[in-house]
Amino acid sequence: MTKTLDESAVQSADNVWTMAQSQLDEVARLIGLNDSVHKYIRYPKRILEVSVPVRMDNGDFNMFTGFRVQHNMSRGPGKGGIRFHPAVTLDEVKALAMWMTWKCALVNIPFGGAKGGVICDPKSMSMQELENLTRRFTTEISIIIGPEKDIPAPDVYTTPQIMAWIMDTFSMQHGYSIPGVVTGKPISIGGSLGRDKATARGCLYVIDEAMEALGIPVEGARVAIQGFGNAGLHAATLMRDRGYTIVAVSDSRGGVINRTGLDVDAVIKHKEATGSVSSYSGGDAISNKDVLECDCDVLIPAALEKVLTIDNAPKIKARIVAEAANGPTLPEADEILHDRGIMVLPDILANAGGVTVSYFEWVQDLQANFWEEDEINQRLKRIMTRAFRETYQQAQSYRVNMRKGAYAVAVGRVAEATILRGLYP
């Protein structure tokens, strides 16, 4: 039996699909969304579940389950990553596909939202087994992907090499190279300059805008970063170069704090040498929990989901929280932070630099004309700056937090495209 909107809204927030639908429901009420359009965009357009037989190194076949979900394609072909993880679920992939719809609409690039995943443990698999898995999964979903249909990208535990295998498999099926089928590829086969730093650079651009809106000087502003992977590491270097002071960083093993400022280059060298920032001698040891609660102007959760909760939200000292990670703030914590006057730059805004430069990569592949990195960065800055200002304007207009302001912009754009295109047949 189909659940009503109200029934779905009160289900456990642990179900990310229920949470994603509830977020839409709340914004639909806020902007007065037409009921028919609301129903239409509340559900995925297409769900593909596939069995993926893979020959393992010992000669045996193992069976894996994979998904590709296309949420809404009213504004263009689907766009979204593929993750390889043992905890992948269909509900998770559906939620991530919906969030990609809003993210693409917010930065106003002509994509809809999609997402994919395979239930597997890539850490226990050899490179050959990963290649076999990738190529077979690509073959199974090839009926719905393509540069004009749906363009995958890297996500959790998927890499440029895996994107190269997807591109090659799809191309071999068609008899010629089709680099535009996937983004996040190596440069040598159609990848884009600037993609590795795109998420962090986009985050920096919206933080700069937030600092200006709140009247906080950039020079000397203190930054704490939870997560020192690709996004966190590049955010540290880019923000240091911009004039911010990086006072704390952490990874899965722990962190380090220096209230007068960390030597970012030395921290990076230490992580490369030891695998972690936790034992760096140029500061005091600190836990991941304490990084979130340390005294700073800007906090960047760049690693895990659900780290800002009802328990620690009252203890956050930052004036700006920039969500470089996906879903680091629980809804209850969001309200607490807003009530305390802390500006949360939501994930669909703060980490949208990655999908924006993925869009640039797709455009370059289709044109077979590649841009210099300076041009890419300038285009990215214009898009991210505009997205922040539109979000801020909506948040001010409706007297809501920045997340709801961002959703108001994004859902409004998707709804407009849906209405204009109509229902076929």
CA distance 329 to 58: 43
CA distance 217 to 245: 12
CA distance 99 to 96: 5
Helix axes 160-174, 127-141, angle to 10 degrees: 50
Is the previous residue joined to 425 through a cis bond, with omega within 30 degrees of 0?
Answer: yes
b/e per residue 355-383 (b: at least 16 CB within 10 A): bbbbbbbbbbbeeeebbeeeebbebbbeb
Residues contacting 154, CB < 8 A, separation 6+ = 81, 82, 160, 162, 163, 184
**Residue 306 Rama label (left phi>0; alpha psi -120 to 50; beta):** left
CA distance 198 to 380: 8
Contact between 194 and 201 under an 8 Å Cβ cutoff? The reply is yes
Angle of CA points 269, 275, 278, to nearest 5°: 85
- Give yes or no: 306 in active site: no
Question: Of 103, 115, 197, 404, which residue is the catalytic one?
Answer: 115
Contact between 199 and 193 under an 8 Å Cβ cutoff? The reply is no
Contact between 125 and 138 under an 8 Å Cβ cutoff? The reply is no
Measuring CA to CA, which residue among 213, 202, 385, 207 is closest to residue 296? 207
Q: Which residue has tokens 């998927």?
A: 158
Contact between 292 and 316 under an 8 Å Cβ cutoff? The reply is yes
In single-letter form, the type of residue at position 413 comes to R
| CA-to-CA separations, 78 to 87, 150, 246, 404, 423, in angstroms, rounded | 23, 4, 37, 23, 18
Name the 3-class secondary structure at 51: strand
Angle of CA points 160, 161, 166, to nearest 5°: 95
Measuring CA to CA, which residue among 269, 278, 334 is closest to residue 308? 334
Active-site positions read 115
